[in-house]
């Protein structure tokens, strides 16, 4: 399953990759009879940290570009 997900999002723009991940999560939930789930259940604290780090890197890059 992990390889399928990586193949599905490989080379995608970040927003497109995130939408693909949501679609996969929805499909898996539907197949397993899960009618409802939250983002907190979908993403672990580790993933949340990755988003925080990615945001910080993006802000730093933007600051660097405006300084030049």
Could you tell me if 22 and 34 are in contact, meaning their C-beta atoms sit under 8 angstroms apart? no
Same structural domain, 21 and 47: no
Same structural domain, 29 and 10: yes
pLDDT tens, the chain, 68 aa long: 677 777 778 888 888 888 888 888 888 888 888 888 777 776 666 666 666 666 666 667 777 777 76
Could you tell me if 9 and 17 are in contact, meaning their C-beta atoms sit under 8 angstroms apart? yes
For 30, the domain range is 1-37
Same structural domain, 33 and 4: yes
DSSP 17-60: HHHHHHHHHHHHHHHTT-----HHHHS-HHHHHHHHHHHHHHHH
Same structural domain, 45 and 63: yes
Same structural domain, 22 and 46: no
| Residue 2 confidence (pLDDT) | 72
Quote the number of domains for the chain.
2
Same structural domain, 1 and 29: yes
| Residue 37 confidence (pLDDT) | 78
Same structural domain, 26 and 56: no
| Residue 54 confidence (pLDDT) | 65
The structure's pTM equals 0.47
| Residue 49 confidence (pLDDT) | 63
Could you tell me if 16 and 24 are in contact, meaning their C-beta atoms sit under 8 angstroms apart? no
């Amino acid at each position: 399953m992990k390889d399928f997900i990586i193949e599905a999002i490989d080379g995608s723009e970040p927003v497109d990759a995130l939408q693909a991940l949501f679609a996969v999560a929805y499909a898996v939930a539907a197949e397993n009879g899960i009618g409802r789930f939250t983002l907190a259940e979908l993403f672990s604290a580790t993933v949340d940290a990755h988003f925080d780090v990615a945001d910080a890197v993006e802000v730093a890059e933007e600051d660097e570009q405006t300084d030049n």
